[in-house]
Amino acid sequence: MNAYIPILLVVSIAVVFTLLFVVLSRVLGPSHRTPGKLTAYECGIPSRGTTNLKFYVRFYVVALLFLLFDLETVFLVPWAVSFRSFVERGMGGQMFVAMLVFFGLLVVGLIYEWRKGALEWE
Query: Per CB under 8 A, does 101 bind another protein?
Result: no
Interaction between residue 38 and another protein (CB under 8 A): yes
Q: Would you count residue 45 as binding another protein (CB under 8 A)? A: no
Cα 42–Cα 18–Cα 15 angle in degrees, nearest 5: 125
Cα–Cα dist 45/57, whole Å: 28
d(CA 115, CA 22): 50
The yes or no reply on residue 19 touching another protein (CB under 8 A) is: yes
Of the candidates 73, 83, 80, 81, the one whose C-alpha atom is nearest the C-alpha of residue 110 is 73
Question: Is residue 98 within the footprint of another protein (CB under 8 A)?
Answer: no
The interface with another protein within residues 59-78 (CB under 8 A) comprises 59, 62-63, 65-66, 69-70, 73, 76-77
Nearest distance, CB of residue 83 and another protein, angstroms: 4
Residue closest to 107 by CA, chosen among 62, 61, 76, 64: 76
> What is the DSSP annotation of 79-109?
HHHHHHHHHHTT-HHHHHHHHHHHHHHHHHH
- Is 109 one of the binding residues for another protein (CB under 8 A)? no
The contact set with another protein (CB under 8 A) reads 3-7, 9-11, 13-15, 17-19, 21-22, 24-26, 28-33, 37-43, 47, 51, 53, 55, 58-59, 62-63, 65-66, 69-70, 73, 76-77, 80-85, 87-88, 90, 92-93, 96, 99, 103, 106-107, 110, 114, 119, 121-122
